[in-house]
Amino acid sequence: MTTLAKPDLRPNNTHFSSGPCSKRPGWSLEALADAPLGRSHRAKVGKAKLKQAIDLTREILGVPADYRIGIVPASDTGAVEMALWSLLGERGVDMLSWESFGAGWVTDVVKQLKLKDVRKFEAPYGELPDLAQADFDRDVVFTWNGTTSGVRVPNADFIPADRKGLTICDATSAAFAQDMDFTKLDVVTFSWQKVLGGEGGHGMLILSPRAVERLESYVPAWPLPKIFRMTKGGKLIEGIFTGETINTPSMLCVEDYIDALLWAQSIGGLKGLMARADANAKVLFDFVEANDWIANLAKVPATRSNTSVCLTIVDKDVAALDADAQAAFAKGMVTALDKEGVAFDIGAYRDAPSGLRIWAGATIETADMKALMPWLTWAFETQKAALKAA
């Protein structure tokens, strides 16, 4: 088999995973030296750190002053589950789903909460459902950016300001990279491990005044675990949203999140973060336009993610293979790049169509994304040569 020449330039940072994502440029353990390790999170120093994390989150994301922001257990999943189990059931609910995590929330609502008045609006990978079908007199649950499909809602224009129901938005791979209109969102969840490259295990839960009103006026028919309870005696437990976390957080992870927030602040806040993600995604989009063997899984340009960019191999010889062989081809590319130490963890999500998923979020340097592109061509041509030789 012909040995193909390898590109001369390698990315300096080869971490293109979609979660946990790359640390910020220049990160080191020394940045966490101020972490109050061995101290109680309920001590003055611990509460101050947690409040700093909440305050910086509000500032950078532009969260309205009357919205609550809380640090909760179990990453984005924990935050979403808290919202679903605590808020749903008061009225009918519409579920919008177009990738694996959105599908998971549908399963939880239908099979675990066993709600009867549920409407599902689903779309295959690469597409959005018809957002106009959602009835906002009902509660509406959706992901802003589908991490496993690379498809996002283009904006919040489909959500009316005078809605009667609540909008519950899983924004874990959108927060800090995409412009979200909080006035249209009643619940927003995300984790630290995506756009800011923080550590796993902690989630963020943002509640509008309307969501708080629901919590204080509605009691679900099912019991709530302790880590889901946000009210006591019919009133919101305000401490959760000032740094008094429900369970014990890792103060090392809190310090790491603060470090990432301060870095975000230093590069221009949300606008700076969005610009970096947009520049990285553009490198990928331009590469796709220039090469006919690869395509963006997201079919409509306006719905393409600028963080979790999902790509499919559309070369005619590869497309002629059965599904297992196509998956093997893509896996071969991912393995080759991993062995070269050029790009780690860029395979498509296990439930998604076979291909590549490359993180383009703000912690990635655009120069590294550009350096990766010739390597994608090398990996493809190497696998194609092996396919022809077989």
The pLDDT tens digits for 167-208 are: 999 999 999 999 999 999 999 999 999 999 999 999 999 999
Residue 136 to residue 129: CA distance in whole angstroms: 15
DSSP 8-state assignment for residue 304: B
Summary mean pLDDT of the chain:
97
Which one, of 287, 295, 338, lies nearest residue 318 by Cα? 295
Return the exposure string of 19-39: e unless at least 16 CB atoms fall within 10 Å of the residue's CB, then b.
bbbbbbbebeeebbeebbeee
Q: Is residue 3 over pLDDT 90? A: no
**Whether 389 contacts 204, CB under 8 Å:** no
Three-class SS state of 231: strand
Provide the whole-model pTM.
Answer: 0.97
CA-CA distance, 84 to 88, in Å (whole number)? 5
Q: What is the pLDDT of residues 299-333, one digit of tens each?
A: 999 999 999 999 999 999 999 999 999 999 999 99
C-alpha distance across the termini of the chain, in Å: 10
In sequence order, which residues have a C-beta less than 8 Å from that of residue 214 and are 6 or more positions away? Answer: 87, 90, 166
Tens digits of residue pLDDT in 198-240: 999 999 999 999 999 999 999 999 999 999 999 999 999 999 9
Q: What digits encode the pLDDT tens for the residues 341-357? A: 999 999 999 999 999 99
Tally helices (H) and strands (E) across the chain: 9, 14
Write down the pLDDT at residue 214: 98
Nearest to 50 by CA among 341, 257, 292: 257
CA distance 230 to 214: 11
**pLDDT value at residue 2:** 58
Q: Going from the N-terminus, what domains does the chain have, and what CATH number goes with each? A: 29-265 (3.40.640.10), 269-389 (3.90.1150.10)
Q: Stretch 143-169: mean pLDDT, rounded? A: 98
- pLDDT tens digit sequence for 236-287: 999 999 999 999 999 999 999 999 999 999 999 999 999 999 999 999 999 9
pLDDT tier at 1 (50, 70, 90 boundaries)? very low
Helix (H, G, I), strand (E, B) or coil at 48: helix
